[in-house]
Structure 1
């Protein structure tokens, strides 16, 4: 009797999983659907140093913890949660002694086959070097929270921008990406708050994604806000999961050691 072979994983899912497995910084793989893998990794790229990182993709979760004590605590607590609650901040707070949470952020990816580039806008897209001084005015207009979320300062690609008026006008929207290990392109997109809702983010992001795909990279869109997630979906990104970072209360962790 022949045994049926498992169906091959979707290339987009496989690429996203390989990216985060590499960022875990220790040998680990995502478990089968419905499972959770918890590993100790002080150098994990899933979260800030000293935190617990949770990445859920395609129905399975990968978790890194900075110490064995923290890993034991997290493994026991997350075993009580359903898969869809592993990146739910309220559910995690109820299960663990949490000092602070970052996220959750939705994780979306696209490929040359799925990408839907934006039609050219009325205003042309210009290219600037990453870190160009013209981006600072846009960041000032956007405010600290949106600027930190977009992280245009971190891009390693050119910045694709729309200017008000002519080519020398102020930058009103910009996008670029940072090259991550595993040949991923992590998108950064920022639009002047006074001009949002006009499709500017979609046009600049489309130029950045085109540049990333031409370079053979896997575009990644990480977003917390519904508006940002809608832009990603309009460009053909598929939402595959979410990321959550957790800083545990050290005193709480000491009160709940694993036998």
Structure 2
């Protein structure tokens, strides 16, 4: 039985996102299942989620699931979301990630100190928020996920322009998936922490489990400053049918 309530909620979330009845493996390699509608990865990809020392993987077909199961069984748990280690046992052709997964309990939350500019609240579809998204690179816009939030947006302005914003999307299991974006010209001023703190407080007040998924080190530092605990990682891959024979 999972003794860590935060980890138990996180695993329950990703089990539900698999789209088929499944549980994280307790030992002996990842649980690998066929799940064409899995939300662990894009359609047609293999999704691998590692939480603590247990992993879950979904594959689009039975053949791919068998291949992935043979390839990944025997890999140490930390290697399961490392692209180089996976590619060593299974010829990988495309990779997304890995992204770190972090979660927060109300007791561990460290709100940001009030800054020189308080975070305002805007509707998720407000034009000023859309203009911030349009002002950054396609990579930054895709990474932040701000266009998918269902909560209000918490923003900081520089003059009339929104230069930092955060909110969250409603995920299963009362999970709040945090999304944060800061304009490049004002990064390094603590604005990401300020708006993320407001969005996180809103999620906790609603009884939700805040989740932070990130690849950039700067984003992970913001999460850590707020009290998020890194609990695992997520990797999506596509590869050939046959595992590499060592």
Answer whether TM exceeds 0.5 for this pair. yes
- Displacement, 1:137? 2.5
Q: 1:182-221 CA distances to partner (integer Å, 9 max, x unpaired)?
A: 1111110000111111110000000001111111111000
- Alignment partner, residue 188 of structure 1: 179
2:179 is paired with a residue whose SS is strand
Aligned partner of 1:114 among 108, 123, 126? 108
Does the 8 Å CA contact 1:125/1:160 hold for their aligned counterparts?
yes
- Alignment partner, residue 234 of structure 1: 225
2:23 is paired with a residue whose SS is coil
Does the 8 Å CA contact 1:141/1:193 hold for their aligned counterparts?
no
Does the 8 Å CA contact 1:55/1:61 hold for their aligned counterparts?
yes
Does the 8 Å CA contact 1:158/1:176 hold for their aligned counterparts?
yes
Q: Which runs of 4+ in 1 moved over 6 A?
A: none
Q: Please give the alpha-carbon distance, in whole angstroms, between the structure 2 residues aligned to 1:33 and 1:171.
A: 48
- Alignment partner, residue 123 of structure 2: 129
- Displacement, 1:224? 0.3
1:86 is paired with a residue whose SS is helix
- Range with greater deviation from structure 2 (94-103 or 200-209): 94-103
Does the 8 Å CA contact 1:38/1:75 hold for their aligned counterparts?
yes
Q: Please give the alpha-carbon distance, in whole angstroms, between the structure 2 residues aligned to 1:57 and 1:30.
A: 9
CA radius of gyration, larger in: 1
Q: Please give the alpha-carbon distance, in whole angstroms, between the structure 2 residues aligned to 1:23 and 1:137.
A: 31
- Alignment partner, residue 174 of structure 1: 165
Structure 1 pair 127–99 and aligned structure 2 pair: CA distance change class (3 A): same
Aligned partner of 1:31 among 25, 29, 46? 25
Q: Please give the alpha-carbon distance, in whole angstroms, between the structure 1 residues aligned to 2:156 and 2:27.
A: 42
- Alignment partner, residue 20 of structure 1: 14
Q: Please give the alpha-carbon distance, in whole angstroms, between the structure 2 residues aligned to 1:131 and 1:245.
A: 29
Q: Can you give the 5+ residue segments of structure 1 that lack an aligned partner in the other structure?
A: 1-5
Does the 8 Å CA contact 1:33/1:58 hold for their aligned counterparts?
no
1:45 is paired with a residue whose SS is coil
Does the 8 Å CA contact 1:34/1:60 hold for their aligned counterparts?
no
Q: Please give the alpha-carbon distance, in whole angstroms, between the structure 1 residues aligned to 2:84 and 2:29.
A: 20
Cα RMSD of the aligned pairs, angstroms, is: 1.5
2:177 is paired with a residue whose SS is strand
Q: Please give the alpha-carbon distance, in whole angstroms, between the structure 1 residues aligned to 2:208 and 2:99.
A: 21
Q: TM-score, normalised by structure 2?
A: 0.95
- Displacement, 1:34? 5.8
- Alignment partner, residue 192 of structure 2: 201
- Displacement, 1:99? 1.8
Q: Please give the alpha-carbon distance, in whole angstroms, between the structure 2 residues aligned to 1:23 and 1:170.
A: 36
Q: Can you give the 5+ residue segments of structure 2 that lack an aligned partner in the other structure?
A: none
Aligned partner of 2:136 among 120, 133, 142? 142
- Alignment partner, residue 49 of structure 2: 55
Aligned partner of 2:203 among 212, 226, 237? 212
Q: 1:109-133 CA distances to partner (integer Å, 9 max, x unpaired)?
A: 0011111111111011100000211
Q: Please give the alpha-carbon distance, in whole angstroms, between the structure 2 residues aligned to 1:193 and 1:24.
A: 35
